[in-house]
Chains A and B, each alone.
Chain A
Amino acid sequence: MTRSVGALVAAAVLALLTAAPAAAHGSDEETEARVEVLQAIALIVNTPDDSHEIMEHIEQVVDAPDHEGVDLALVQEAEAAFEDGDLTQARELLQSSIAVSEDAAGGTALAAAGETGTTMVLDVDRPGAGIDGGDIVLLVLSAGAIVLGVLLGWRFRPADSVRRLRHRAGTAEGESS
């Protein structure tokens, strides 16, 4: 009796130990396809010349066992577009393939802990190089601050430079010795 209870407990523990990682793994894969799509888009945005890496991520989406949150047909269209060298089209299709998953309450789940919260990969934003009237005013004010600072720095300069103080100290030492 004791032995059979022990066996049951051991079996239950074994089942728990094996079931827990399996569930976690399954949960990871649910989001993995979606993450792979985001990674492929981020690579298109940041390293568009690295086609091998981009294609690898798209293929991993296609080959993933679970595509929850991802429209596989659109990913396959994106793959074709990417193979044709149309990065813009591929990026748009990949972005369309990941609809924002909504929780039971109908709202968007907020990011927690170290999650990115990214649902759409935005381009790198380089502020325009053009200069408008406001910029000219700011440039003039900044230049004015520099000129005023230099003038005041000169006006408030110490009576003796470090070189002169050093020389004076050296002369005094020479005289005393």
Chain B
Amino acid sequence: MTANLDRDATQPSETPDRSRPRRVLDAVDERLGIDALRYPVPEHANNLAWSLGGLTLVSFLVLLVTGIYLAQFYDPLPESANQSIRDLSDVWLGTFARGLHYWAAQAMYVLVALHLLRVIFHGSYKRPREANYLVGVSMFALVIAALFTGTVLKWDQEGFEALAHNIEIGELLGGLGFWFTPDLAGNIPILVRLYSAHVVLVPGLIVVLFLLHALLVKRHGISPHPDIPAAAHEHPEPFTSHLRRIGAFGLVVIGVLGILAVLVPPVIGSTPVEGIEVTKPAWPFLWMYALENWFGLSAILWGSGALFALLVLLPFVDRNPRRSWRDRPVVMSVAALVLVAIVTLSIIAIFSAAETHI
């Protein structure tokens, strides 16, 4: 009797017909609570558009694995950083790991941007998901920060010119930009500080925010499809089925990244020299470069600030409870305008010559 009382009520009952794998899973679940992942999600969540966030996570995991490998061979001192990347060709799978890291970074940016567009298109940022939307926007900013710091770590002419812009913008921000300037620690190369940001600070914050994001998704449930308002029309499936489908899509993403890493390996530019501007930034930053060509350095700050201000304000401005894009003409028009502007500016920057700004 006492023994029975001591047993946890959640402990699975002993049934002799359970298979060995099932018993192992039950034992693990009893201790780690993984069964909590089997919460019900609507059927529409298992489609590609609703899996973009999960695929962003797959890219992030590829970045973590390849990044840990690359960190074993990367030397963040300015004198040797560029050469240490070139030397990866002498390391087992070094060039492939760098290629995979590079293309996974591009994929992560594209996937997180598509995920954000999907959220805006379907009104998934609306009550009660405003806070989780803001967590997502913060993660988008961190992905851009990871891309930027990664660009600088190559320590080639392009990376150094990007850094020079970063420093100038840090100075434009006055006291707020102190971290971005070399003045914070004059005897430490800023490259070393950016390296620490790239491998610890930025991914660490992404992990923390991701956990919060995932917990809030569980708390609020996956957002409804605007055209399928009643859950009664869908057969709910466990979240683990959603994860399984993301795993399948993730294999496709990894395969594509692998092919790109082999066939289109990333270039490393010449060792950097200060005082000249002969390169253009990585493609995600091209739209800012076009703005800078027209309006000067501060336009980078105002342009990116305006974009993020729009993103942050969106759930507070658009309080219309309707989620369908047809019922939200203003938001859809502004979003389309911003998207067209970014694409147009990027194309203009591609066809314009490199200019000196600093």
- A residues bordering B, Cβ < 8 Å? 35, 38-39, 41-43, 45-47, 108, 110-127, 131, 135, 138-139, 141-153, 155-162, 165-166, 168-170, 172
Contacts and interface: CB of A to CB of B under 8 A. Distances in A.
22 contacts: A39-B274, A46-B270, A47-B278, A111-B77, A111-B78, A112-B182, A112-B189, A113-B190, A114-B163, A122-B270, A124-B267, A124-B268, A125-B268, A127-B265, A138-B96, A142-B256, A142-B262, A147-B255, A149-B254, A150-B248, A156-B244, A158-B46
B258 A145 contact: yes
A113 B188 CA distance: 5
B95 to A, nearest CB: 6
A111 B22 CA distance: 59
Interface of A is mostly: helix
B293 to A, nearest CB: 17
Interface of B: 43-44, 46-47, 77-83, 86, 89, 95-96, 99, 156-157, 160, 163-164, 167, 182-183, 185-190, 225, 227-230, 232-235, 237, 241, 244-245, 247-259, 261-263, 265-276, 278-279, 354
Contacts of B274: 35, 39, 114-116
Contacts of B47: 158, 161-162
B190 A114 contact: yes
Nearest to A118: B271
Contacts, number: 199
Given A116-B272, A116-B273, A145 B267 contact: no
B46 A149 contact: no
A113 B164 CA distance: 12
Contact of A146 (B234, B251, B263, B268): B251
B276 A43 contact: yes
Nearest to A122: B271
A139 B270 contact: no
Contacts of A42: 157, 270, 272-273, 276, 278
Given A121-B270, A127-B267, A153 B189 contact: no
